[in-house]
Amino acid sequence: MKRNTIIISILAMAATTAVQAVETADSVATDTVVEVLNPHKIIITESSDGGMGVEVRGSGLNRKFRYNYSAEQKKAAADTDDDYTIPFFSSLSGKKNQEKNLPRVDWFTSLGMHYGFTLMSGAGDVSNMGNSVELGFLYPVSLSVVFPQSWRITTGMGFGWKNYRLNSDRRFVKADDGTLALAAYDPDTYSHLSRLKIFYLDVPVIAKKEWGGLSVYAGAVINFNVYGSMLTRYRQDEKEIKVCEQGVNQRKVSLDLMAGVQFYDIGLYVKYNPCNVLKGGNLPEFRSFSIGFCVGM
């Protein structure tokens, strides 16, 4: 409606200036900017942002005369409803947030793949960090709330597994009551390998600060340890013996404290789990400490 009013006004002005009758000075309105008699050509334009313009070329015998007028299109108060957005719900619907100082929500922002070496903290010399490893995808399904000044908080759901491997002189054994313990190999055996595997689903809450390509992050990761297994393998008299047990009494829910630094997509991380990996009554009693590489955190 506003745009039609502007067009009508411009056309009315152009028609008025084209009148060939001579008006007296007293009859000219006090807000008249220019008066053109016998215009040669009138050009009306409309820009992509809604602005309107009129150009008058020639006036009577003066063919070099030029006059330009433009008006900016402004929305009425009733037309501003389309620009009103609620930060969270507008992000979910795909609308671009109009206010730069308000947070926005991003889906599927990161993969969070990380690979590192794990130490069985508190277990003494039965293992070392070079033997045990972990591999995980912190949040292949993720949701980030992005704040001004390059802050973001990311949560989501991921998965991973940790392999705790003993040194070659010790092995895991499972007692009749289902608890785990440590034992030595028989003297006539060799090619020793004994490891504990824990598979988990995780829900992280990570805060991240960015400075261009450099970023640091820290947060907590809740682990739901849904599966565990024990494997011991060795050779005796040219015969390979393999013992595999499921159900290793792992703690069902644990917490990792995680921090790291990243340059663009590649970085380093550290992770510490203050909870015992196994339930009480199982040996060895140990916690998990990891350090390694990450991509897309």
Element (H, E) at 239: strand 239-246
Mean pLDDT of the chain: 80
Give 176's contacts (C-beta < 8 A, 6+ positions apart): none
Backbone angles phi, psi at 72, to 5 degrees: -85, 135
Least confident interval from 22-31, 58-67, 219-228, 285-294: 22-31
Q: What is the pLDDT of residues 104-126, one digit of tens each?
A: 877 766 788 999 999 999 888 88
d(CA 138, CA 154): 10
Give yes or no for a contact between 230 and 202, defined as CB atoms under 8 angstroms apart. Answer: no
Question: Where do the domains of the chain lie?
Answer: 2-71, 88-93+101-295
pLDDT band, very low/low/confident/very high, at 92 (cuts 50, 70, 90): very low
Distance CA 140, CA 291 (A): 20
